[in-house]
Structure 1
Amino acid sequence: MNQEQMDIKTPEFVSIQFQLAGLGSRTAAFLLDQILLQIINISVFIILLIIMYGEPRWWFLGEQSSIPIALTIIGLFLLNWGYFFACEFFSGGRTLGKKLLGIRVIQENGHSITLLSSFIRNLLRIIDSLPVSYFLGMIMIFFHSKHKRLGDIVAGTIVVHERRRKRKNKLSKIEKEIESRGLSKNDLMIDEWSLKSIGAKEWKLVQTYCNRFLQLGEDERERLTMQVAEILFPKIGLDVTGKNYHDVTNALLVLYLILKDEWEFEL
């Protein structure tokens, strides 16, 4: 019987339970992605024909250079392969189809998918799609204990369900504090590469800091704020030097808002 739940202890000794995504949800997500890609493919060919002939007719009706057609085919191949690679790496393991189905790709250690893992698992789509219509990949997902296809096995990744927590009608104390300061996620610009360096350990640190923030006295709060900032700021490309306590506090609270969307979900 296939394993539906998976407990992972991260390198930071944080225990997380995941619900593995099975063949049904993964197939549905893949079909949604294919529909999107086919719409793009057809649109590109129609535009190409209009540009080459002034109207959408087949290219064998005229004597035109085949170079634009060859370049378009190469470009579409890169787009169809690169779509999964880029989306999974830059969107937290989610293509559009996965996002709509509420599933994502992560590493087996519980961390976000890396550039190399995304490259390997999507490169091996070529083998998983053999002999036709993703047959090999579907067979492996169905029978594998962790619902893995070949690309997942080699890249060390799994696909899991995620269910965002329902938004509470009542704001928490720290959320009220953030709101009273007029802060939002747009107040702190973090590039995608830096955000990828934040793992479960850093999220737990930010979460603990925010949970204790309003319970501490002013002196202890300032000391804790600077200690946490010295640990986290280098990871996101910020420098504590030259920043006053108020600015550092606001930056940490905004970082909490940003990481909350990525890490605070039930699986």
Structure 2
Amino acid sequence: MSVTTNPFELYRVETPEGITITYTPAGLVSCSLAAMVDYVVMLALFVTGLVTIIIVGRVGHEDVIGALLALLAFAINWGYYVIFELIWNGQTPGKRLLRLRVIREGGTSG
């Protein structure tokens, strides 16, 4: 079984149950658009957290605010993909919006 390089070529996989699944691999443009949607959502989460930390932290020290912003950025960059791929069966908001799904070579969910 080989992976196709042409995004318009159909790819067929036979499951262990004997069902043949046919799909078209996603191209560079659709994957890039999904990634851009994900980055916009992540940016919106960061800006919301930034505003919240600044408003709540007006009486705090600048060092504490900086540390909280660093933790927020870390949590968003690492947690975003993990959380969404766990709760939405391998899809982030960008993938879901563009109806993309990651599957393994055997046709099972990735």
Which ranges in structure 2 are unaligned for 5 or more consecutive residues? none
Alignment partners' CA distance in 2, 1:7 and 1:87: 27
Alignment partners' CA distance in 1, 2:104 and 2:71: 30
Higher-Rg member (1/2): 1
Q: Residue 101 of structure 2 is aligned with which of 92, 101, 104?
A: 104
Paired position in structure 2 for 1:15: 20
- Give the number of aligned pairs: 105
Q: Which amino acid aligns with 1:111?
A: T
Q: Does residue 54 of structure 2 align to residue 81 of structure 1?
A: no
Q: Give the CA deviation at 1:45.
A: 1.0
Which ranges in structure 1 are unaligned for 5 or more consecutive residues? 55-62, 114-267
Higher RCO (Cα < 8 Å, 6 or more apart): 2
After TM superposition, which residue ranges in structure 1, 4 or more long, deviate above 6 angstroms? none
Q: TM-score scaled by structure 1? A: 0.36
Q: Against the structure 1 CA distance between its residues 89 and 3, is the aligned structure 2 distance closer, same or farther, given a 3 Å change threshold?
A: farther
Alpha-carbon RMSD: 2.1
Query: Residues 92 and 105 of structure 1 are in contact (CA less than 8 Å); yes or no, is this contact kept in structure 2?
Result: no
Q: TM-score scaled by structure 2? A: 0.80
Paired position in structure 2 for 1:37: 42
Within 5 A, what are the aligned runs for 1:1-267? 2-4=5-7, 5-53=10-58, 64=61, 66-113=63-110
- Aligned residues: percent identity? 30
Deviations 1:201-252 (A, max 9, x none): xxxxxxxxxxxxxxxxxxxxxxxxxxxxxxxxxxxxxxxxxxxxxxxxxxxx
Q: Give the CA deviation at 1:65.
A: 5.3
Alignment partners' CA distance in 2, 1:85 and 1:108: 21
Q: Which amino acid aligns with 1:43?
A: T
